[in-house]
Structure 1
Amino acid sequence: MQPRVARAMMWIALGLIVVVRLLSGIAHGWGAGALLLAMVSYPPLVALLWRSWPGRVRYGLVALIVGLAALPFAVVGTGWDWLPWTVAVAVLVAFRGRTAAALFAVLLGAVLAGGLLAGDSAADVLWRMTATVNDGLIILSLHTLAGMVRDLTTARGELARLATLRERLRLDGELRDVVGGDLRVIAERLSGGLGGVREAVDLARRALARIREAAANYRTAGMAAHGAGLGSPRIARFVLLGVLLMQATAAAAYVATVSVVQLFVAVPVLVSIVTLYLVPHFRYRLVAIAVLTFPLVWPGSFLVPAWGWDGMWGFFIGLSLLRLRPPASWVVVVSVLGLHVVLGRTLPPVLPPALIAMSLASDLILGGLVYSLTRLGELVVVLDRARYELADEAVARERVRMARDLHDVLGFSLSAVALRGELALRLLDRDPGRAAAELASLRELVGRSARELAMITDGRIRLQLAQEIDTAREVLAAAGAAAEITVSTGPLARQADTALAAVLRESVTNVLRHSRVRTCVIDIVEEGGLVRLTVTNDGVAVADVPQPQEGLGLASMAVRAGGRLRAGTLPGGRFELVAEFGSDPAGFGGDADGVDAVAGTELGHR
């Protein structure tokens, strides 16, 4: 809804400007033909503002608007209240930077020259230039801010994606240098005889300690996304100041047409009004601006022409909408509009209804401008800040994911390397053949650890249940435990296979860490659309049972995979863990951070 509201503000302002121009034409006695001629450039302007066009189309629309805006001169000459505001809007919207500024200056020069050649008074020429600038700046600012709101809303996840990729690449380089280097040295030492095997085992334990330390650091240390977001958009501040100065200049020019002497009263008052609009934290600002903006409330207000200030009333309406809550703000709006009507029908010169309606529409345009630019500017800042907050959150999630995978995937592998390396050393004298087989499988385990490191840094963990079953059997055997494993399932979906493999790996890790296991029974069955993994082991003392940590571990893993888990002690010093998943766990359908639309898993520890 935010982009629509922002666009609606622009279209409302555009509609009110059109109404003002039509009412001005009616007040000056234009016929229907002249009114239609004055409006022919409006449809292509609407088309230009409707969407972002390619350059050729955009420039073609600008040329069409310029041609149609000049068409009335060929038909009715200068005998109409001409104002090239559509050309001003087209130039400012279609072009950028210095090109837009130069073309806009040329347009204002043409307005000045045209007014002088037509014999208009200095006040009329100044009014025409002021109105052209104001209308152009009003639509430009609302169009630009609406585009910023749209772009920020559309791309709010883009910064998070880029920040996550940056962090992933940074951690990838860090882990490949440290952990990858350890794995390469371990592989080399395994080929260096008995002494090399001992060094490999020691290095595996040191690498495991470093991995656990790194995992802890990744969980606790944050990495903010680059940049701090936008401040208040400059275009909002500059346009408000520009339009305010233009209206103040027009007010001073009107006073000068009545009496130059009265400028000594008008100019200080107008400067005070502009200054107060630039000091947002002054406590009594609204009251002070009201006193200065409506000189009819002054004692001795006869010194200043009543209509010198009416172009400033809209700013007070906008400020009241921002500073006051309904219904007080609406009371102010209705009061100001009502005062405009009363004064227009009572003070000389009495204005015709069309000019009074035009004045009311102008009040609403300026009031809406103050309100819209302020609110849209705040919205842009909020949206931009939200982009950075989303990026920080995504980076934090990526670090937590990396910590989990480091701890559980590589932690398990390096634990297995150390454990099976020690077993190989013990078997060298008693059973050289089995020791050689252990060393061969150990080299394969180190190679698999290197591949798992690549998967962790790539964010695409792939575990296979069959491989984890074999590894569990071997690791338990290396620890001197008998493994009884039963699998009663058909082919499993990739997500279910990964989920079961992840839970089995972590379960076996916990069995080895938290018990003096002698027998471990692993049972995997599929029934009623559910796949159930049961792991039961002995050798557990009550004091050794780990306490679950909220948001981490096997229970959290099961929840993320769309399953459930229960665990607890059994009589006789046994511990049982039961994990159940649907045959296609929803939680493993995509990368956790949303960067890659592929199946992945986040692993925790218990």
Structure 2
Amino acid sequence: MKSSVEDLPPRVARAMLWTALALLFCVRLFDAAGAGVGTEALLLAAAPYPPLVALLAGRFRPVVRYGLLAAVAVLALMPFALVGTEWGWLPWTIGAGVLVALPARASWPLLGVVLAGTALVGLLAGEHADVWAWRPLALATDALIVFSLHTLSGLVADLHATRDGLARVETSRERLRLDAELRRTVGAGLRSIAASLAAAAEAEPGDARTGVREATESARRTLAEVRSMAGDYRTADVRRTAPPVRSPGLVRAILVAVVLMQAVRPVMFTFTSSGDPRWLYLFIPLIAVAAALLLSRPSRGRLAALGLLVVPVAWPGSYAAGTLAVIAGLWGLFAGAALAWMRPPRSWAIAGAVLVLQVVLCVSPPPVAPLTVAVTNVVSTLIMAWLFYSLSRLGELVVLLERARHELAAAAVAAERARIGRDLHDVLGFSLSAVALRGELALRLLDRDPVRAAAELAALVPVVEQAQAELGSITGGRVRLELGREIDAAVEVLEAAGITVRTEVRTGALPDGTGTALAAVLREGVTNVLRHSRARTCSISVTGSDGTVRLRVVNDGAARRRTPGAGGTGLESLAARAGGRLSAGPRPGGGFEVAAEFRSDPAGLGGDADGVDPVAGAELADR
């Protein structure tokens, strides 16, 4: 039966534990009732359940766990002091409490002491070998059932709670790695530009030309590097091979232990009670093959072979020899395998048929078993089925959750790389283009207008400083652009390119998210004017009314229309995420227009679109 992360949440995993605990209580209750134990003793025997439930339900400090374990032990031993061992109530709650409350290095040796003590008490009480030898097996089985389901349900809850944790860790690591890479490459380019500009500012006009040329060439090289890296980040296949995830070792170990203990009991019963040990020549190979099938890879063929092996032997085989009925002890595991390996309703039908056969076996062939014995046998079969199904189901879920964590982490890393690539292109691309363009202008002015050339060089210093600051904000995921500053920068760059600029700004204060979104659109629009048109005039207008702010960038050049997603950073997705719209294309009368419209308070910019962590500003989205 296939599983998924969604159809088995932690609360269902916990329900599996409580169901198993209730079934164990019922089987011990009917076992005691069948032995004729009085009501007072039954109530007293139920006393260890409350502290055991508390121990299973919470995560306490060691001192509290040890106190609850002591309460379980004292309350579990009290019935034995009153009524002895004849009634068959097992101190399995002590075994379960030991495994749950203590660390592994102490719990398993102590469980061995409990098992040995249980067998020794029965031996000293003069019980039949089949009885005193069975007690440790039953105690160990019950304790392992509770411990394994408790451990796995806790693991499922932890994995659910930390599904995003691995994504955050891997994303942080990728940010740090890319930050170091960008500072080593792009940062070095920006430092080189700054150094060249500083040298040019202090040099004589004739010598300044070399510094300006070096700064300009470095800006163009760095710009090409930025575009190349941004493209690689956005398009490279960054899928990582997740480490192989296997079913938890605990699941396998517990299943092996339970299967072997259930296999030992028929052999032990045949050896001590049947009076004819020759039956072992049949039972040992049969049980060995059945155990191998139960512990093998799930398949319908193996399930069918298992059913044909263990069901007909016990019934109707017990009509031929009553000893064969002992194989019915494996029916519960067969039913559990059907539930785990097949889909409903077939799995339910098989499990239901097994329970019906268990009832039939209690009455036919004769003699008819007492009602308490029949109920005990049916519930015992149900417990084994529930254990096998629960362990298989939870083990599979753990695998799926672990795989989902790695897949989510890989997706988050890819999204973070794409975001950094987009922001790298949008934020630094504009600044470096401005440095290159104005550096070329300064070179042309050095001879004929040294004063203006010096002004252009002085204006480049804050542009480079801003680019250096923005480089750190990109990997930090906290890119903020101020619309007013971007309008001023756009005017300066366009005018440096010889383009006449007209601006109109009629809007009040804007939230950071809206301002960043508008500034990103403006940067890209201006960059497109510089790279893809021969414009002589450009108008920039920002107006707001009725909770909406509109940006228009219109130029008289012949820019070619570009398809969203082709080589740039996709303003359409940014507009959609910010709760707005964007259009770009030629105007009927000539020229080219970029128009964007956003809500003044965009709800879409309140957190990270990738669901990894909240962001303070707008993410520059893919075009």
Residue 336 (structure 1) aligned with residue 351 (structure 2): no
CA contact (8 A) 2:166 2:409 kept: yes
Q: Which residue of 1 aligns with 2:554?
A: 536
- Residue 267 of structure 1 corresponds to 284
> Counterparts of 2:343 and 2:398 in 1: how far apart (Å)?
22
Counterpart CA distance in 1 for 2:309 and 2:610 is 56
Distance 2:101 2:167 in 1: 31
SS at match of 1:491: coil
Q: Equivalent residue for 1:167?
A: 174
The structure 2 residue matched to 1:29, chosen from 24, 36, 39, is 36
Instruction: Answer whether contact 2:555 2:593 (CA < 8 A) is retained.
Output: yes
1: distance between equivalents of 2:235 and 2:588? Answer: 38
User: What number of residue pairs does the alignment pair up?
Assistant: 604
What residue number does 1:504 align with?
Answer: 522
Structure 1 residue ranges without an equivalent (≥5): none
Give me the CA root mean square deviation.
1.9
The 2-side partners of 1:430 and 1:8 are apart by 85
Matched, 1:93 2:109: no
* 2:339 is aligned with 1:321: yes
What's the secondary structure of 2:430's corresponding residue? helix
* Counterparts of 1:194 and 1:324, CA distance in 2: 80
Q: Which amino acid aligns with 2:234?
A: R
Q: Deviation per CA, 1:169-214, whole angstroms, max 9, x where unpaired?
A: 0000000111111111111111222201101100110111111111
Output aligned runs, 1:300-379, within 5 Å.
Answer: 302=320, 305-379=323-397
AA of the residue aligned to 2:177: R
| 2:202 aligned with 1:186 | no
2:567 aligned with 1:560: no
- Work out whether 1:238 is the aligned partner of 2:253: yes
Question: In the alignment, which of 68, 71, 74 is matched to residue 64 of structure 1?
Answer: 71
Check the 8 A contact 2:581/2:597 in 1, yes or no. Answer: yes
AA aligned opposite 1:581: F
SS of the residue aligned with 1:587?
helix
Q: Measure the CA separation in 1 of the matches of 2:299 and 2:350.
A: 20
Q: Deviations along 1:547-604, whole A, 9 cap, x unmatched?
A: 3227941212211211111222113431111111111122322344445533222225
**What is the deviation of 1:424?**
0.8
Q: Distance in 1 between matches of 2:564 and 2:302?
A: 58
Q: 1:418 aligns with which of 422, 436, 439?
A: 436
Deviation at 1:79, TM superposition (A): 4.0
Q: How does 1:202-241 map to 2 (within 5 A)?
A: 202-224=217-239, 227-228=242-243, 230-241=245-256
Give the SS at the match of 2:261.
Answer: helix
> Which secondary structure state, in structure 2, belongs to the residue aligned with residue 487 of structure 1?
strand
User: Take 1:334 and 1:547, find their aligned partners in 2: how far apart are those partners?
Assistant: 61
Q: CA deviation at 1:408?
A: 1.0
For 1:87, give the aligned amino acid. Answer: I
Give, in angstroms, the shift of residue 321 of structure 1.
Answer: 2.1
CA-to-partner distance for each residue in 1:218-271, whole Å, 9 max, x for gaps? 112244468525311111121111111101101111111202121111111111
Distance 1:332 1:492, change over 3 A: closer
Worse overlay, 272-281 or 394-403: 272-281
Q: Equivalents in 2 of 1:585, 1:343: separation in Å?
A: 70
Shift of the alpha carbon at 1:333?
A: 2.5
Q: C-alpha offsets along residues 9-33 of structure 1, whole Å, 9 cap, x if unaligned?
A: 1111110000000000011111111
Change (3 A) 1:534 1:300: closer
CA distance in 2, matches of 1:79, 1:296: 28
| Pair 1:143-2:159 in alignment | no
Q: Secondary structure at the match of 1:602?
A: coil
Cα 1:47/1:602, change in 2 over 3 Å? same
1:384 corresponds in structure 2 to 402
Residue 482 of structure 1, aligned match among 476, 479, 500: 500
- In the superposition, the TM-score normalised over structure 2's length comes to 0.93
CA distance in structure 2 between the aligned counterparts of 1:579 and 1:397, rounded to whole angstroms: 25
SS at match of 1:359: helix
1:49 to 45, 53, 56: 56
Q: Which runs of 5+ in 2 are unaligned?
A: 1-7, 200-207
Q: Check the 8 A contact 1:163/1:225 in 2, yes or no.
A: no
Letter of the structure 1 residue corresponding to residue 439 of structure 2: G
Give percent identity, aligned residues only.
52
Counterpart CA distance in 1 for 2:240 and 2:307 is 45
Q: Which residue of structure 2 aligns with residue 602 of structure 1? A: 619
Whole-angstrom distance in 2 between the partners of 1:362 and 1:207: 74
- Structure 1 residue 56: deviation in Å? 1.1
Residues 461 and 195 of structure 1: CA distance in aligned 2, closer, same or farther (over 3 Å): same
Instruction: Find the counterpart in structure 2 of residue 406 from structure 1.
Output: 424
In the TM superposition, residue 278 of structure 1 has moved relative to its aligned partner by: 2.4
Task: Say if 2:167 and 2:412, in contact at 8 Å, map to a contact too.
Answer: yes
Q: Structure 2: which amino acid aligns with 1:516?
A: R
**Matched letter for residue 388 of structure 2:** V
Cα 1:605–1:538 change in 2 (3 A) is farther
Q: How far off its partner does 1:494 sit?
A: 1.8
Name the aligned partner's letter for residue 545 of structure 1: R
Q: More displaced, 186-195 or 2-11?
A: 186-195
Task: Give the deviation of 1:114 after TM superposition.
Answer: 1.1
What SS class does the counterpart of residue 539 from structure 2 fall into?
strand
Q: Give the 3 Å change call, closer, same or farther, for CA 76–605 of structure 1 in structure 2.
A: closer
Which residue does 1:441 correspond to in 2? 459
Moved over 4 A (4+): 224-227, 296-301, 592-596
Q: CA deviation at 1:85?
A: 0.6
CA distance in structure 1 between the aligned counterparts of 2:131 and 2:545, rounded to whole angstroms: 88
Give the deviation of 1:369 after TM superposition.
1.1
State which of 293, 298, 301 in structure 2 corresponds to 1:276: 293
Q: Is the 8 A contact 2:605 2:618 kept in 1?
A: yes
Q: Secondary structure at the match of 1:261?
A: helix
Q: Separation in 1 of the partners of 2:120 and 2:425?
A: 77
Instruction: Say which SS state the counterpart of residue 277 (structure 2) adopts.
Output: coil
What letter is aligned with 1:218? Y
Shift in Å, 1:291 = 2.5
**Does structure 1 conserve the Cα–Cα contact (< 8 Å) formed by 2:514 and 2:598?**
yes
2:304 match: 287
- Checking the alignment, whether the CA contact within 8 Å between 2:359 and 2:374 is kept in structure 1 is yes
Query: Cα deviations across residues 415-446 of structure 1 (Å, max 9, x unaligned)?
Result: 10000000111111221111111100111111
Q: For the structure 1 residues 27 and 359, does the alpha-carbon distance in structure 2 shift closer, same or farther, using more than 3 Å as the test? A: same
CA contact (8 A) 2:513 2:605 kept: yes
1:201 pairs with 2:216: yes
CA distance in 2, matches of 1:75, 1:571: 101
Q: Is 1:430 the counterpart of 2:448 in the alignment?
A: yes
Q: Match for 1:106: what amino acid? A: V
- State how far apart, in whole Å, the 1-side matches of 2:59 and 2:331 are: 34
The equivalent of 2:4 in structure 1 is none
- With structure 1 as the length reference, what TM-score do the two structures score? 0.96
Structure 1 residue 519 corresponds to structure 2 residue 537: yes
